Amino acid sequence: MNQSQLLLSAAVMSLTAVVTVGGPAVLQNSHAAEAVSYVSETATQIAATDAHASDSSRISEMMIGNADAKVTIIEYASFTCPHCKTFHEDAFKTLRTDYIDTGKINFIFREVYFDRGGLWASMLARCDDGDRFFAIADVLFERQQEWTSSRDGAEIARGLQKIGRLVGYDSETLDSCLQDRDKARALVEWYQENATEHSIRSTPSFVINGKTYPNMDYDEMTGILDGLINGT
């Protein structure tokens, strides 16, 4: 393991360290700021110097719609991003009704990790191999202000565990999901690879048939989609 891998490993371990507070295991915020810094500084080095060491291949795409559609839209979003919450509670519902559920497009959701809360929320949403990802994502966005209201890592973790229990996970399942350091490391590497490939600098961002767009109005988005669907 080279130095850049060691730094990323230390970052992820800090991001996913656990302590017991009044019963259930919760995520500790010790060294979290340093961890976030390490992640951003070292992931590029890993990709450049030891690409074969990445374990990001274990990460599954979260996808709904028609996998064979002419148009694929990839949303890059963070569960802690207020603008992402706004998109999912408004435009996304219409997009799903008019384009996703009708099979006109393929929709892929890719998480962005600007902070520890975003990573932990992603790990929760991906419990049970992500079989309930989009349903849990809806709850995470709906209750975003509740579980992100504190800057304290333990409080954020308690809020996420509360959501986990709300959607039906028991303590054992939650502990298994939130304490999986190997998966956390793979998720961080996967995020960095995707963000580099598509030049993601803010959330939400959208990649439509390979072209990256910043956040946009719904009418602008559907104009792009209709043009690609209709070949105009």
Strands 71-77 vs 25-27: parallel, antiparallel or unpaired: unpaired
What values do phi and psi take at 86, rounded to 5? -60, -45
**Confidence class of residue 15 from pLDDT cuts 50, 70 and 90?**
low
For the domain that residue 66 is a member of, what is the CATH number? 3.40.30.10
Q: In the chain, how many domains are there?
A: 1
Q: Is residue 174 part of a domain?
A: yes
SS3 of residue 140 by DSSP: helix
Q: Which of 161, 169, 188, 86 is nearest to 127 (CA)?
A: 169
Is 197's pLDDT higher than 80? yes
Backbone φ and ψ for 52, nearest 5 degrees, come out as -70, -15
Q: Write the pLDDT tens digit of every residue in 148-167.
A: 999 899 999 999 999 999 99
Residue 3 lies in a domain: no
Whether residue 40 lies inside any domain: the answer is no
Q: What is the mean pLDDT of residues 119-147?
A: 96
How much of the chain, in percent, has pLDDT values that exceed 90?
Answer: 70
Answer whether residue 17 is part of any domain.
Answer: no
Q: In the predicted model, is pLDDT for residue 35 greater than 70? A: no
For the chain, the maximum distance between any two Cα atoms, rounded to a whole number of angstroms, is 60
Q: For residue 110, is it within any domain?
A: yes
pTM for the model stands at 0.79
Other Cβ atoms less than 10 A from the Cβ of 68: the count is 7
Closest CA to 92 of 57, 119, 65: 65
Range of the domain at 116: 58-230
In a domain, 204, yes or no: yes
